[in-house]
Amino acid sequence: MYRALKTKPWISLLAFAAPALVFYVIFLLIPTLGGVYYSFTDWNGLFRSYHFVGFSNYVEAFTEDSRFIYSLFYTLKYVLAIVILQNVIGLGLAVLVESRMRTKALFRTLFFMPNMFSVYISTLMWTFIFSTAFPQLAEKTLLHFLDQPWLGSSSMAFVSILLVSVWQGAGYLMVIYIAALQGVPRDLQEAATIDGATPFRKFLHITLPMIMPAITICAFLTLNGSFKIFEVVYALTGGGPGYSTEVIAFNIYQEGFARDMRYGYATAKAMILFLIILVITVTQVAVLKKKEVEA
Amino acid sequence: MRKQMIVGLVIMLLVGIVSACGGNNNEPSSSGNNASASNGAGTDTPKKAELTLMLTGLGRFKEQFDQYLKQFAAKEKAEKGIDVTYNLEVPSDANLLKTRLASGDAPDIFSFHAAFDGPIFEKGGYLPDLSGEPFVGKLIDTIRQVVTINDKVVGVPMESFSWSYLYNKEMFDKYGLKVPTTLSEMKQVVETLKSNGETPFMLAYKEASFPGWLTQLSFESVVAKQSPDWWDRMNKGEASFSELKDKGMFDIIDLVNGNGTKRPLEVGADDGLAKFANGEAAMLITGTWYADSILKANPNFKLGLGALPVNDDPESTMVNLAVSTTLSVYPESPNKAVATDFLNYILDDKDSSAFFDQLKFNKVAKDQQIETFPWTEQGNQYVESGHSYLDQSIPQSANEAIGKMSQSYFAGQISQDELVAEIDKAWKKSVQVQK
Amino acid sequence: MRKRSLIPSSLIVLLLIIVTIFFMFPIVLAVVNSLKSQGEMFKSVIAWPKALQWENYKYVLTEVHILRSLYNTFIITILSIVGIIFCGALAGYKLSRTPGKVSAFIFFLFLSSMLIPFYSIMFSLIQVASGLHIQGSVYRLPLIYIGLGVNFAIFLYHGFVKSIPRELEESAQMDGCGQLKTFTRIIFPLLLPITMTIVILDILWVWNDFMLPLIMITDYKSYTLVLLASTFFSEYSTEWSYILSILVLTSLPVILVYLVFQKYIVQGIADGAIKG
């Protein structure tokens, strides 16, 4: 009896976790460990043999590969811009939608809709807008400000990439922020109103601290997601003009599948990306969690 | 509301389970095909073969290939009693083939670019030695050379052309212009066009390949005439683009870039072709593979082909003789024999001419009877008078760098020296990696 | 009722209009222009089509096997999600209920893997997939999705199970239910809200995924909708009336689902984030 009780949780734990573990081990753990291993080799997708090369892939990425370094900083710039823009706009939309109860459902539906499309599909839609619709509107209507080299200059291409990302992603954050705003107790707000607080001060001192957990989550989501941006660049600019809009994921993809198919080297770069994401997201969550506690 | 959700979920799960079962039932049929293919190799007399074909970027010819494969299946059945079925894939992304070669899940027959992919595929062991096959004897000599790597014929060339730039014949005639044979003459042409309010060059630089072609043609012509050993030295890591820069490879590039249509970085390929077809500029640096698209945009267009001059030596004014689409067999394919039969059938004495006609490809075999287009004629004249060089292999990442850096150079983001240094670097790395 | 809001109400209306235009105009322009001829489109992208050009759609439907791709995408999504729910619920429940180091370690294993970017495993995953002959198979591709998606499901289930009182399953076991029976009869129905959330998040992920099909599906018969649109785009590059038609067609299922189930979708996303 005693024995049975002791072994049973073990067996049942394994039995219940086994299906998940099998898939996890085969398709995530082994490829991850394989990735770590291959990142130390000169494995080339096209040749069958490979050699162990130690840290030389990592060294090369930081010392010789100026385009990789560029893509690192370019991605950081993008991440910074998108985390701020996406969250400010997402929260702004949530406040906007929440402030008119009668039309709330309608506008939430509309603003969230872009998020339902595949990123790739919506980027193609925007390619049409940038390449055909905007130039024509600039020429034939009063919207002359649309006359921009949307994809033709590196600075405007950055703006275009941001535009598509915000269009696609802001609705998602809006939904989370709406849920968070609904969690702010009404009586707190009313009490503040009676005390004569202005709406802005109320927002700053009551609402914002109350929705801090949502901000942490949304910042985490955008941070984690925007580091991996690929489809928008792949479909919108192809990394161009020149190499000017090459983000890390695109750089890795090109290194592995185009160019010389250097799987090993591309994997090493992907590991660097992993480490960066790890450090930054862990720091971010830690910092914002601390803020939550303080608030 | 809860109830709705539960009902919805149950339905979904049910559908899921049902289709999962359906899936399992269907599965053997798809894997069964693979199995029969590989079993076929094991047995002595294969009576059945399922060929898998991956023809990258040939989506527009899917019907023609479908038709030809059906003809082939009938022939194989009649002559050898083998039941041939096939699975034709025409992805647009060239990387897919490489991925599948790399993973060992290779198609029996695949297409590749002879000069660009050939050497690296050969090194990886993905190309067979077809030198003894009947089709080899039928090939035009120059074309056979392009598909010969390390003295082995590695595939059947299909799409071949000589190319440099295309021009609007009507516009040239209107202003009494002749196809220039030197850089000075080209400058004259440009001046005349400009003084008549025409734009000399159509620039469609949104895709890096277009500015890349200009740079490629320019440096290859410089090399072909002035330092033919440059390729060898470059692949040994002993040469540099800076030599070519000193020999004036940027002269024609700057002339073209300086006299083109506006805001080219926003003009994509099809856009540019349509504009060129409608007379918005007199010349377009690209190959005849776009002839079809141009004529589609304007059926009355009079298309001409010229060789881009790089300096004042008319002998340096040459076209590039290239074979792009080449078909080959995976050496370890279980269906190698049948697949090789198909390669031979591509140059079949009876059926091949009609096939090539449908594809609008130029002839690759001596005996093919194919309608030739005026621009093909012009290209052939350059080749026959010795004004051509064979397409050479440029390492993949160097090739990419040529396109992208030419884009940046046009945009004024980098100098000539930076362009040279960047391409040198990419080339060197490729050579080193592929050792 | 509300006397003072954050922004004056006329400004709110104005802002709502502007934002609506921003979010809707690409979709509206895509739909409207998919019903025009190429020539009409070049004349004006904003004008209403003179005559609706259903030919664009007819052409696209004859050129590509959109129904086959719809079926493929549907199968991949359904199988992936059934697998993720099955594996995730079992493991998430048990890991949450079992104290001890082993359980904590396994949970940590799943949890920590959530940060791994796909690109880090992409190349060796290709090796694994080709070893198992997964490439190109609609019925086997879901195996990868289960492997990649189960960690998040476990994470959500793990948290949710804590809110279910233990007494329920204890009394069920008293009644002689085996562990598995207890789970299927008692626990799983209680997990329904979080299951719904996972289903929604994973449908959005798998249905719209581009990268995995791009590198795994080599056979055009197995193309998913997104992959189909991508090949179509690279073949037709600027024949926008066709491309827009295919974009509309490929998006139609998700939009329909969205309009019907939006309440649950929005709820699911909010729950997924807040419980996560």
CATH homologous superfamily of C65-275 equals MetI-like (1.10.3720.10)
| DSSP 8-state code for residue B361 | P
- What distance in Å separates residue A275's CA from the closest CA in chain C? 9
pLDDT, tens digit, 9 for 90 and up, residues A84-97: 999 999 999 999 99
| DSSP 8-state code for residue B265 | G
Question: In degrees to the nearest 10, what's the CA dihedral of C266, C267, C272, C276?
Answer: 130
Q: Is A18 exposed, middle or buried (0-12, 13-18, 19+ CB in 10 A)?
A: middle
Identify the residue among A41, A44, A46 best suited for mutation to test binding to B, counting B beta carbons within 10 A and taking the highest. Answer: A46
Identify the residue among A39, A46, A113 best suited for mutation to test binding to C, counting C beta carbons within 10 A and taking the highest. Answer: A113
B217 pLDDT above the threshold of 50:
yes
Q: Does A193 touch chain C (CB under 8 A)?
A: yes
- Taking residues B283-292, what's their average pLDDT? 90
pLDDT by residue for chain C (276 residues), tens only, comes to 444 555 677 888 898 999 999 999 999 999 999 998 888 887 788 888 888 888 888 888 887 888 899 999 999 999 999 999 999 999 999 999 888 888 999 999 998 888 899 989 988 898 888 888 887 788 999 999 999 999 999 999 999 998 888 888 888 878 877 888 888 888 899 999 899 989 988 998 999 999 899 888 877 778 899 988 888 887 776 678 888 999 999 899 888 888 888 888 888 888 877 765
B255 pLDDT above the threshold of 90:
yes
- Taking residues A21-49, what's their average pLDDT? 90
Nearest alpha-carbon partner for B419 in B435, B429, B404, B430: B404
For C139-162, give one letter per residue: b (16+ CB within 10 A) or e: bbbbbbbbbbbbbbbbbbbbebbe
Class of domain B43-160+324-359: alpha beta
Q: Do A151 and B266 touch (CB under 8 A)?
A: yes
Contact A169, A225 (CB under 8 A): yes
| A105-114, B2-11, B165-174, C229-238: the lowest-pLDDT one | B2-11
Rounded CA-CA distance C214/C246 in Å is 18
Nearby residues of A47 by Cβ (< 8 Å), 6 or more positions away: B123, B124
Give the nearest partner residue to B269 out of C85, C215, C237, using CB atoms: C237
Q: What is the reported pLDDT for A8?
A: 67
In one-letter notation, the amino acid at residue B78 is: A
| A17-21, A185-189, C167-171, C234-238: the lowest-pLDDT one | C234-238
pLDDT, tens digit, 9 for 90 and up, residues B148-203: 988 999 999 998 888 999 999 999 999 999 999 999 999 999 999 999 999 999 99
User: Which residues 29-48 in chain B show a CB within 8 A of chain C?
Assistant: 30-31, 34
B375 pLDDT above the threshold of 80:
yes
The ranges assigned to domains in chain C are: 9-53, 65-275
Question: What are the structure tokens assigned to A35, written together?
Answer: 């990735």
Total-model pTM: 0.86
CA B247 vs CA B238, B311, B408, B424, C209: distances in Å: 17, 9, 22, 16, 50
| A67-81, A109-123, B20-34, B319-333: the lowest-pLDDT one | B20-34
In one-letter notation, the amino acid at residue A170 is: A
| Stronger pLDDT, B21 or A169, i.e. the higher one | A169
The ranges assigned to domains in chain B are: 43-160+324-359, 165-317+394-433
- Taking residues B294-304, what's their average pLDDT? 91
Give the nearest partner residue to A259 out of B400, B405, B408, using CB atoms: B400
Q: What is the reported pLDDT for C6?
A: 57
* Nearest-by-CA chain C residue for A219: C273
Contact B347, B333 (CB under 8 A): no
Give the nearest partner residue to B396 out of A153, A154, A258, using CB atoms: A258
Nearby residues of C163 by Cβ (< 8 Å), 6 or more positions away: none
CATH number 3.40.50.150 given to A63-294: no
- What distance in Å separates residue B351's CA from the closest CA in chain A? 35
Q: What is the reported pLDDT for B22?
A: 36
Q: Do C147 and A26 touch (CB under 8 A)?
A: yes
Name the CATH topology of B165-317+394-433. Answer: D-Maltodextrin-Binding Protein; domain 2 (3.40.190)
Q: What is the reported pLDDT for B1?
A: 41
Q: Do C116 and A171 touch (CB under 8 A)?
A: no
Give the nearest partner residue to B60 out of C81, C136, C235, using CB atoms: C235
Q: What is the reported pLDDT for C5?
A: 56
Query: By percentage, how much of chain B surpasses pLDDT 90?
Result: 52
* Nearest-by-CA chain A residue for C205: A118
Q: Does A242 touch chain B (CB under 8 A)?
A: yes
| A30-44, A136-150, B328-342: the lowest-pLDDT one | A136-150
Contact C26, A166 (CB under 8 A): no
pLDDT band per the 50, 70, 90 thresholds, residue B30: very low
* ipTM metric: 0.88
Q: What is the reported pLDDT for C275?
A: 63
Rounded CA-CA distance C276/C270 in Å is 10
**HEC profile of C181-207:** HHHHHHHHHHCHHHHHHHHHHHHHHHH
Measured in degrees and rounded to the nearest 5, phi and psi for residue C178 equal -75, 170
Q: What is the reported pLDDT for B35?
A: 37
Q: Angle at the Cα of A292 (from A288 to A295), degrees rounded to 5?
A: 130
Identify the residue among A10, A21, A24 best suited for mutation to test binding to C, counting C beta carbons within 10 A and taking the highest. Answer: A24
Q: What is the reported pLDDT for A293?
A: 65
Q: What is the reported pLDDT for B32?
A: 35
Q: Does A260 touch chain B (CB under 8 A)?
A: yes
Query: By percentage, how much of chain A surpasses pLDDT 70?
Result: 96
- What distance in Å separates residue B62's CA from the closest CA in chain A? 24
A6 pLDDT above the threshold of 50:
no
pLDDT band per the 50, 70, 90 thresholds, residue B21: very low
pLDDT band per the 50, 70, 90 thresholds, residue B56: confident
Q: Do C115 and A224 touch (CB under 8 A)?
A: yes
SS3 assignment, position B48: strand
Q: Do B102 and A259 touch (CB under 8 A)?
A: no
| A29-38, B242-251, C77-86, C129-138: the lowest-pLDDT one | C129-138
Query: Looking at beta carbons, which pairs linking B352-358 to residues 24 or more positions away fall under 8 Å?
Result: B355/B64, B355/B68, B356/B158, B358/B64
Identify the residue among B397, B405, B425 best suited for mutation to test binding to A, counting A beta carbons within 10 A and taking the highest. Answer: B397
Rounded CA-CA distance A52/A57 in Å is 10
In one-letter notation, the amino acid at residue B251 is: D
Rounded CA-CA distance B294/B275 in Å is 9
For B136-170, give one letter per residue: b (16+ CB within 10 A) or e: bebbbeebbebbbbeeebbbbbbbbbbbbbbbbbe
B34 pLDDT above the threshold of 60:
no
Q: Do A45 and B395 touch (CB under 8 A)?
A: no
Q: Does B104 touch chain C (CB under 8 A)?
A: yes
Q: In what order do the strands lie in the sheet with B165-168?
A: B201-202, B283-284, B165-168, B303-306
Please tell me whether the peptide bond between A241 and the residue prior to it is cis, using omega within 30 degrees of 0.
yes
Rounded CA-CA distance C199/C88 in Å is 11
B429 pLDDT above the threshold of 90:
no
Alpha-helical (H) ranges within C65-224 are 66-97, 101-112, 118-131, 141-161, 166-174, 179-182, 188-190, 192-208, 211-216
- What distance in Å separates residue C275's CA from the closest CA in chain A? 10
- Taking residues A3-26, what's their average pLDDT? 79
Q: Considering only CB atoms, which chain B residues are within 8 Å of A242?
A: 208, 404-405, 407-408, 411, 413-414
Residues paired with B88 in a beta bridge? B53
Rounded CA-CA distance C185/A202 in Å is 48
Q: Do C234 and B23 touch (CB under 8 A)?
A: no
pLDDT band per the 50, 70, 90 thresholds, residue A132: confident
Q: Is C223 exposed, middle or buried (0-12, 13-18, 19+ CB in 10 A)?
A: buried
User: Which residues 45-84 in chain A show a CB within 8 A of chain B?
Assistant: 45-48, 64
Q: Do B23 and C199 touch (CB under 8 A)?
A: no
Q: What is the reported pLDDT for A192?
A: 76
| Average model confidence (pLDDT) across chain B | 85
Rounded CA-CA distance C12/A96 in Å is 7
- What distance in Å separates residue B98's CA from the closest CA in chain C? 11
What is the full DSSP assignment across C209-268? --HHHHHH---GGG--HHHHHHHHHHHHTT-HHHHHHHHHHHHHHHHHHHHHHHHHHHHH
Q: Do A35 and C204 touch (CB under 8 A)?
A: no
Question: What are the structure tokens assigned to C269, written together?
Answer: 């996303």
Nearby residues of A233 by Cβ (< 8 Å), 6 or more positions away: A161, A239, A245, A246, A247, A249, A250
Q: What is the reported pLDDT for B46?
A: 61
Q: Do A267 and C123 touch (CB under 8 A)?
A: yes
Rounded CA-CA distance C35/A49 in Å is 53
- Taking residues B56-62, what's their average pLDDT? 78
Q: Does B428 touch chain A (CB under 8 A)?
A: no
Rounded CA-CA distance B58/C271 in Å is 47
Q: Do C123 and A45 touch (CB under 8 A)?
A: yes
Q: Angle at the Cα of C49 (from C48 to C52), degrees rounded to 5?
A: 135
